[in-house]
Amino acid sequence: MAFLKEPPHTHGAPSGSAVVLVNLGTPEAPTRPAVRRYLRQFLSDPRVVEIPRALWWFILNLVILPFRSGKSAAKYASIWTREGSPLKVHTQLQAQLLRGALGERGHGDVTVAMAMRYGSPSLPDVLARLKADGCDRVVVLPAYPQYSGTTTGSIYDAVFAHYKRVRNVPELRFVRNYHDDDGYIAALAKSVLAHWDQHGRGGKLVLSFHGVPKRTLLLGDPYHCECMKTARLLAAKLKLKPEDYVVTFQSRFGKAEWLQPYTAPTVRQLARDGARRVDVICPGFVSDCLETLEEIAMEVRHDFLSAGGKEFHYIPCLNEHPAWIAALAEIAEQHMIGWPTMRTSAQREGLKREGETARAAALKLGAEN
């Protein structure tokens, strides 16, 4: 095994701390070739698809990639913005705002970087850059509130695989989950209440989480339980009765049974049962993306209205919501306890200005969309 090239160790050299905000990933463009490259990397991960590799190679390369890439590219094109992929834009803004929030809390000596598990900027490239910049303390913060082996576990794999080739490995800390974090739950509640203040309240709140195969639950993955706990805590924060909300799972892929109930059939049945309006929020996504903007806000909306419903309200993800950025900073801060992270007041003021610039960009993005 060959180690990656790194600069010689210098005794007494200043060291730094870093937080890496890691999201799933996105194609570089809403085109068939770009989507094909992205899907190949994503669906080749054995954490994502647990099918014998030889069999899956034929299914992926001879069935899925030739026929699904074009359809997926059209879906991405329907939600693409002038700035690029919504997921990438929101994650980058979150990283910038997180750096500003940490600076305002006095943790100015912290680098905050954004990385993607699949696509660009790749997690190995970001970790290598932080190493070159002298960061020898790294917090890995997945953009997944609920732990699953298919998501957070895959990030662990990528981090360990990268550092297996590094001679001088930095101190590592991982954020495993924050599905029941007070700040995260409060941010979700504030986003729901803000939507209700502006648009009124619907008769049923649908909490749609990304689905995973049911077998993962039976094999010990805690994802389902953590989704249900998030839902219970959010409902309690909003003072909802059991009949006021329903938990569903979206994005089913393939013929195997996934976690149920499924979002689209549930919403259609609500319409058939006489529900005139539903409000849908996706608590498992902290950034709007294909699964929220196209699958929920377009496809599921169409399903509800076609089944007889009258009003469909999609409540956006947390994105750059100030309460969410504050919660993110608190989570990062908790995982840096004991590390030297402070800077001078002048440096904190500079970071505060950076945060204000990022907030202005977030507001502009929200106005354009």
Using alpha carbons only, how large is the chain's radius of gyration in Å? 21
Look up residue 134 and give its amino acid.
G
CA distances from 163 to 47, 139, 151, 168 (A): 19, 14, 19, 9
pLDDT score of 332 more than 70: yes
Query: Residues 6 or more apart from 52 whose CB is under 8 A from it?
Result: none
158-206 pLDDT per residue, tens? 999 999 999 999 999 999 999 999 999 999 999 999 999 999 999 999 9
Domain 182-315 in the same topology as domain 17-178+321-368: yes
Residue 224 in marked binding region = no
Residue 215, CB half-sphere, CA atoms under 13 Å: how many?
8
- pLDDT range class, residue 361, cuts 50, 70, 90: confident
- How far apart (Å, rounded) are the C-alpha atoms in residues 26 and 270? 32
Domain positions in the chain: 17-178+321-368, 182-315
Query: Residues 6 or more apart from 44 whose CB is under 8 A from it?
Result: 60
Which range is least confidently modeled, 30-44, 92-106, 302-316, 330-344?
330-344
pLDDT recorded at residue 355? 62
- Mean per-residue pLDDT for 130-153? 96
- Mean per-residue pLDDT for 60-71? 95
Number of neighbouring beta carbons within 10 Å of residue 2: 5
pLDDT recorded at residue 354? 66
- How far apart (Å, rounded) are the C-alpha atoms in residues 78 and 295? 11
pLDDT score of 347 more than 60: no
- How far apart (Å, rounded) are the C-alpha atoms in residues 139 and 151? 17
- Mean per-residue pLDDT for 97-118? 96
| 3 state SS for 226-252 | HHHHHHHHHHHHHCCCHHHEEEEEECC
pLDDT recorded at residue 15? 82
pLDDT score of 362 more than 80: no
pLDDT recorded at residue 341? 87
Structural contact between residues 305 and 264, judged by C-beta atoms closer than 8 angstroms: no
pLDDT score of 348 more than 60: no
Nearest Cα residue to 117 out of 88, 77, 86, 79: 88
pLDDT recorded at residue 357? 73
Mean pLDDT of the chain: 93
- pLDDT range class, residue 84, cuts 50, 70, 90: very high
- pLDDT range class, residue 6, cuts 50, 70, 90: confident
Spell out the CATH class of 17-178+321-368: alpha beta
Query: Residues 6 or more apart from 359 whose CB is under 8 A from it?
Result: 97, 100, 320
pLDDT score of 155 more than 90: yes
244-295 pLDDT per residue, tens? 999 999 999 888 999 999 999 999 999 999 999 999 999 999 999 999 999 9
pLDDT recorded at residue 54? 94
CATH of the domain spanning 182-315: 3.40.50.1400
- Mean per-residue pLDDT for 153-158? 98
- How far apart (Å, rounded) are the C-alpha atoms in residues 43 and 202? 37
Residue keyed to tokens 């306890």: 337
**DSSP state letters, 311-369:** EEEEEPP-TT-HHHHHHHHHHHHHTTTTS-----HHHHHHHHHHHHHHHHHHHHHHHH-
Query: Residues 6 or more apart from 95 whose CB is under 8 A from it?
Result: 21, 112, 113, 114
- Mean per-residue pLDDT for 316-330? 98
- How far apart (Å, rounded) are the C-alpha atoms in residues 228 and 27? 30
Structural contact between residues 225 and 209, judged by C-beta atoms closer than 8 angstroms: no
Residue 302 in marked binding region = no
Measure the N-to-C terminal CA separation of the chain; round to a whole number of Å.
48
- How far apart (Å, rounded) are the C-alpha atoms in residues 160 and 19? 16
What is the maximum alpha-carbon separation in the chain? 71
pLDDT recorded at residue 342? 78
- Mean per-residue pLDDT for 312-333? 98
